[in-house]
A = this chain, B = another copy of it.
Amino acid sequence: MSAYHPLTSEEAITLAQRLPGVFSENAVLNCREIGDGNLNLVFHVTTENSAESIIIKQAVPYAKVVGESWPLSLERARIERQSLEIQHRLCPDFVPKVFAYSDELAYTIMEDLSQYTIMRKGLIDGITYPRFAEHIGQFLAKTLFYTSDLGMNQQEKKELAGRYVNPDLCKITEDLIFEDPYRSSANNSYSDSIEDEAEALRNDIPLHFEVALLREKFLTHSQALLHGDLHTGSIFVTPESTKMIDPEFAYFGPMGFDIGAVIGNLLLNYASQPGWNQSNEDLTLREERLLEMVKDVWNHFESSFRSLWNKDLVDEMSRTPGYQDHYLTEVLRDATGFAGCKMIRRIVGLSHVADIDGIENDMARETAQRKALAVGKNLVRHHRNIGTVDDLLKLVHLATTEIGVSI
């Protein structure tokens, strides 16, 4: 018999009180369930008389977004918690600390980041994050390098991969990103005004071919331990600090999937820019800043990854001259293709982004949707031919020029 049950706020407070060394002895604790998500309860435990606080995240055994009919293994709570621990060990500055957990009750108690902003919201609000590209570049380089055959013992990597078999969460990605947008599916969701775009996606055989290749990589390329869902809603920021959260989709997959998630979400925000008027800043400048950010993310990742490779490589054959360049070009190509897939699915698939859906004006929102699709399709279509991040940005420019959207 499992002791699992959804926690109440009272139970969350009791768990927090039992935590050694976090709250002062006489602290009066309050608790609020703040989960907006689809898969979890999130309890925010605070004190009345001090700044101390924690988060208790508990998995529920189904996906809320599609009702209780989509069952999900609670095993993902263990996978998320162990991923946080590995990522925190590799990048203590960029990942919240885990204080305690229960695999049976599927909860993790961790550092509270409520003084941070969710990056998606920050970007929508036009806030600049000058340290972000450097931080995420380092996070990606360290977490991907040190969990790959390049940076960790290759026998231990196999054992570790065996503990990150994550079929339920992988299936969400396989369906929602690599299949539904390209066919008629009850999971898809978009307004009638872009039915022409959805139909074009369903009939675009050359595009399906490239998606099939990327899907195969997601299914079989066991390259490194991924975060697995690294969109801008899984990133907490201040102008000085960056924290990556929610790695419940973690599994061993292609490095480019994580990098592509970051790039794709920056480009979704880029595509949405003409729809937002809350800032007096020049539109062109904001768009250029976002494209510059895409470039910087890749460049910081690449230079960090190369220096880890030159310092800590464990694979002798990978020292072969030319192999590092080849490897990184392949990762960039994958990242480009995955970025495109992630943009497309956020327009016609089940799960959308506030950057686009939050645009109030119907015409402006539709323009942003078409722009995001044009960019996404161009990235998917040509991902295997690019050689540098400038090529990636050229694909973005060409896509927006082609459909006549001024930038």
Neighbour of A317 across the interface among B149, B165, B168, B182, CB < 8 A: B182
Contact yes or no, A317 B154, CB < 8 A: no
A341 to chain B, nearest CB (A): 11
Neighbour of A154 across the interface among B174, B183, B223, CB < 8 A: B174
Tell me whether A220 and B221 are in contact in the complex, defined as CB-CB below 8 angstroms, given that A162-B165, A165-B158 are known contacts.
yes
A154 / chain B contacts, CB cutoff of 8 Å: 167, 170-171, 174, 219
Copies of the protein in its oligomer = 2
Contact yes or no, A209 B149, CB < 8 A: no
Neighbour of A320 across the interface among B155, B168, B209, CB < 8 A: B209
Contact yes or no, A165 B159, CB < 8 A: yes
Contact yes or no, A317 B220, CB < 8 A: no
Bound-complex Cα distance A213 to B327 (A)? 9
Task: Tell me whether A318 is interfacial, beta carbon within 8 Å.
Answer: yes
Contact bitstring A175-206, B, C-beta under 8 A = 1, else 0: 00011001100000000000000000000010
Contact yes or no, A155 B178, CB < 8 A: no
Task: Tell me whether A208 is interfacial, beta carbon within 8 Å.
Answer: yes
Bound-complex Cα distance A174 to B158 (A)? 13
Interface of A is mostly: helix
Contact yes or no, B221 A320, CB < 8 A: no
Most-contacted residue by chain B among A162, A165, A182, A220 (CB, 10 A): A220
Tell me whether A155 and B182 are in contact in the complex, defined as CB-CB below 8 angstroms, given that A162-B162, A318-B212 are known contacts.
no
A171 / chain B contacts, CB cutoff of 8 Å: 154-155
Task: Tell me whether A240 is interfacial, beta carbon within 8 Å.
Answer: no
Task: Tell me whether A222 is interfacial, beta carbon within 8 Å.
Answer: yes
Contact yes or no, B167 A317, CB < 8 A: no
A221 / chain B contacts, CB cutoff of 8 Å: 220-222
Bound-complex Cα distance A304 to B318 (A)? 36
A159 / chain B contacts, CB cutoff of 8 Å: 165, 167
A170 / chain B contacts, CB cutoff of 8 Å: 154-155, 158
Contact yes or no, B323 A149, CB < 8 A: no
A170 to chain B, nearest CB (A): 7
Bound-complex Cα distance A222 to B170 (A)? 15
A182 / chain B contacts, CB cutoff of 8 Å: 317
Contact yes or no, B174 A316, CB < 8 A: no
Contact yes or no, B155 A167, CB < 8 A: yes
Task: Tell me whether A347 is interfacial, beta carbon within 8 Å.
Answer: no
Bound-complex Cα distance A109 to B323 (A)? 46
